[in-house]
Amino acid sequence: MDKITLQGMRFFGYHGVFPEENKLGQRFVVDLTLFADLKRAGVNDALADTVNYAEILETTRKVVEEESFQLIEAVAERIASLLLDTYTKINEITVKVTKPHPPVDAHFDGVSVEINRKRET
């Protein structure tokens, strides 16, 4: 299966268990891998034969910036289900959501959740 990858999309959202996270917000990083048959797009050189990654980015932005969840697992699940429901050319998706600065008393590069979902047939 062919794939389209969108890496390092940065958004500001209001997700977290603690009230401060929902009030103050923070940055989130999202990586997507979309699995689809891209042969027709490659042969025809036509946007209609592929997945428009500008639309994918905008859909992802809306989830992260306009919705609110306690867990980044829920953010990832919402992105995956919305993209699979909206874009029928996507057969499978991997979504990675990173919270670079989680509110814990430790120094590290952040916490990530990565999920993989397939279209139900």
Which tens digits make up the pLDDT trace of 1-52? 999 999 999 999 999 998 888 899 999 999 999 999 999 999 999 999 999 9
Model confidence at 117: pLDDT above 80: yes
Selected residue with higher pLDDT from 72 and 120: 72
The pTM of the full predicted model, rounded to 2 decimals, is 0.94
- Angstrom distance (rounded) from CA 109 to CA 103: 12
* H-assigned helices in the chain: 19-24, 39-44, 53-66, 72-86
Is 96 among the residues known to form the active site?
no
pLDDT for res 109: 83
Mean pLDDT to the nearest integer, 51-65 = 98
Sheet architecture: strand order including 26-36: 2-13, 26-36, 92-99, 111-118
pLDDT for res 72: 97
Q: What is the pLDDT of residues 69-95, one digit of tens each?
A: 999 999 999 999 999 999 999 999 999
- Angstrom distance (rounded) from CA 74 to CA 2: 26
pLDDT for res 108: 84
pLDDT for res 14: 96
pLDDT for res 25: 93
pLDDT for res 33: 98
* Domains in the chain, CATH or no CATH each: 2-118 (3.30.1130.10)
Catalytic residue chosen out of the listed positions 3, 39, 96, 99: 99
